[in-house]
């Protein structure tokens, strides 16, 4: 008789809380439209995996469909790599080619990754170096990189790290403006920047993804799956002879893998793994990573301005776009510039810094993947 009610007797308050978490993510996706393509499947996956007996994960020794997806797409890092091909096909490096100095903001705005990694190792958190590195990478503002690194170093933390990475990316319009306002004066926010719309030679656009992959392969060989897939997607786009493949990568591939990635990440949010104080601390540190990233980019721009003549100063808000949340961060900064002074257009510079953030985040991920095992084994 007890078997009849096993569905009711096999769940406790922890599972009930996870249903609420799942509903909250679905609500944010539908009502607030925060990254709906990811938060909705993640939320639903979180509910599925916490239902009685967790049949979608494993039952009577047989793998459920979500475990099959997890093993075939996350555990072997296939989904993040496929997403990168899609993202690469979407990125136009044109604005960066027209103002290449913007690339350095893509480096400065990775500061949050490293600062958060250090914080995570300190009391009271006391995470191991590998766990701390996985938490810090939330600051890459780049879901696939966060998943890739967490999967290598701290598989048990994959659920909270993924949720934090995607949630904070969706919250960039709320996180970045107060940080930028705090660190800049009104005069700085009103700085105009001229944009030279020079032609970029086609050979440069085509050779860029290939050369970048080769450079990354020599500097941080372990980053090649990330850089290589991103640049492969970009090469398809820029080659000019694979338009259908480029469109397929940007649409069908991106949508299909995002769908599977989301629900599979949700399946890693079982109550026993997710509901603990460590999860709360990871969510808090993820926010710190985004704030420090933004501050790093803005302060770097202010530092550069010290050495520039008056007529060539950079609007320091551009620095905040060095995070990888593309193109949301660029849009946020343009909106702030227009609010400060009507007609101030810095969008193309902001996009240049923003695509640099894509490069910076995967290189930072590659550096962490290369350096951490040297010390932590």
Sole binder of other proteins in the list 51, 90, 129, 283 (CB under 8 A): 129
Sole binder of other proteins in the list 39, 66, 115, 263 (CB under 8 A): 115
Q: Which is nearer to other proteins, 49 or 359 (CB)?
A: 359
- Chain-centroid distance of CA 366 in Å reads 14
CA triplet 295, 296, 298: central angle to 5 degrees? 65
- Report in angstroms how near the CB of residue 65 gets to other proteins at its nearest: 38
- Helix axis angle for 158-170 and 36-49, nearest 10°, is 150
Q: Which stretch binds other proteins (CB under 8 A): 48-56, 193-201, 228-236, 342-350?
A: 193-201
- Report in angstroms how near the CB of residue 169 gets to other proteins at its nearest: 20
Alpha-carbon distances of 275 from 14, 28, 46, 151, 326, rounded to whole Å: 7, 20, 12, 19, 31
Sole binder of other proteins in the list 96, 285, 292, 337 (CB under 8 A): 96
Element (H, E) at 206: helix 202-219
Sole binder of other proteins in the list 1, 62, 198, 306 (CB under 8 A): 198
Query: By CB under 8 A, is residue 356 in contact with other proteins?
Result: yes
Q: Which is nearer to other proteins, 134 or 334 (CB)?
A: 134
Residue 185 backbone dihedrals phi, psi, to 5 degrees: -90, 165
Three-class secondary structure of residue 192 per DSSP: coil
Q: Which stretch binds other proteins (CB under 8 A): 38-46, 95-103, 148-156, 310-318?
A: 95-103
Q: Binding mask 219-258 vs other proteins (x if CB under 8 A, - otherwise)?
A: xx--------------------------------------
Contact by Cβ (8 Å): 113, 364: yes
Query: By CB under 8 A, is residue 114 in contact with other proteins?
Result: yes
Rg over alpha carbons for the chain, rounded to the nearest Å, is 21
- Residue 112: asked if its preceding bond is cis (omega within 30°), the reply is no
* Residue in 103, 353, 87, 357 with CA at minimum distance from that of residue 232: 87
Query: By CB under 8 A, is residue 169 in contact with other proteins?
Result: no
- Chain-centroid distance of CA 307 in Å reads 32
Contact by Cβ (8 Å): 190, 69: no
Q: Which is nearer to other proteins, 205 or 331 (CB)?
A: 205
Element (H, E) at 154: none
Q: Which stretch binds other proteins (CB under 8 A): 111-119, 148-156, 169-177, 311-319?
A: 111-119
The Cβ-side half-sphere exposure at 175, using a 13 Å CA radius, reads 26
- Report in angstroms how near the CB of residue 187 gets to other proteins at its nearest: 28
Taking the C-alpha atoms of residue 209 and residue 197, their distance in angstroms, rounded to an integer, is 22
Sole binder of other proteins in the list 33, 59, 101, 243 (CB under 8 A): 101
Q: Read off the DSSP letter of residue 311.
A: G
Count of residues that bind other proteins according to CB under 8 A: 51
Q: Binding mask 201-220 vs other proteins (x if CB under 8 A, - otherwise)?
A: x-xx--xx--xx--xx--xx
Q: Which is nearer to other proteins, 120 or 163 (CB)?
A: 120
Name the site residues for other proteins (rule: CB under 8 A).
Answer: 96-97, 100-101, 103-104, 106-107, 110-111, 113-115, 117-118, 120-122, 126-129, 132-133, 198-201, 203-204, 207-208, 211-212, 215-216, 219-220, 356, 359-360, 363-364, 367-368, 370-372, 374-376
């Amino acid at each position: 008789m007890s078997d009849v009610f096993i569905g009711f007797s096999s769940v406790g308050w922890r599972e009930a809380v996870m249903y609420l978490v799942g509903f909250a993510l679905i609500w944010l996706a539908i009502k607030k439209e925060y990254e709906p393509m990811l938060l909705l499947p993640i939320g639903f996956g979180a509910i599925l995996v916490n239902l009685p007996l967790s049949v979608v994960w494993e039952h009577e020794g047989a793998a459920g469909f979500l475990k099959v997806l997890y093993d075939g797409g996350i555990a072997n890092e296939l989904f993040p790599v496929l997403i990168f091909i899609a993202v690469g096909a979407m990125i136009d490096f044109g604005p960066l080619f027209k103002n290449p100095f913007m690339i350095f903001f893509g480096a400065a705005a990775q500061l949050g990754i490293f600062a958060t990694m250090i914080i995570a190792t300190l009391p009271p958190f006391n995470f191991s170096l590998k766990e701390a590195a996985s938490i810090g990478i939330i600051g890459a503002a780049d879901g696939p990189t966060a998943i890739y690194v967490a999967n290598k170093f701290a598989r048990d933390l994959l659920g909270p790290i993924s949720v934090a990475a995607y949630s904070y990316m969706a919250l960039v319009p709320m996180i970045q403006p107060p940080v930028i306002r705090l660190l800049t004066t009104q005069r700085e926010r009103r700085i105009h920047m001229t944009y030279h719309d020079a032609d970029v030679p086609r050979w440069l656009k085509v050779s860029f993804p290939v050369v970048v992959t080769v450079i990354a392969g020599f500097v941080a060989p372990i980053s090649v799956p990330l850089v290589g897939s991103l640049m492969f997607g970009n090469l398809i786009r820029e080659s000019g002879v694979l338009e259908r493949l480029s469109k397929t990568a940007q649409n069908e591939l991106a949508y299909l893998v995002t769908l599977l990635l989301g629900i599979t990440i949700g399946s890693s949010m079982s109550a026993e793994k997710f509901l603990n104080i460590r999860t709360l601390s990871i969510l808090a540190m993820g926010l710190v990573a985004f704030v420090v990233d933004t501050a790093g980019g803005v302060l770097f721009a202010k530092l550069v301005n010290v050495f520039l003549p008056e007529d060539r100063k950079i609007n320091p808000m551009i620095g905040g776009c060095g995070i990888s949340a593309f193109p949301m961060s660029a849009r946020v900064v343009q909106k702030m510039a227009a609010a400060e002074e009507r007609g101030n257009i810095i969008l193309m510079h902001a996009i240049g810094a923003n695509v640099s953030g894509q490069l910076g985040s995967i290189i930072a991920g590659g550096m962490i993947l290369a350096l951490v095992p040297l010390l932590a084994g």
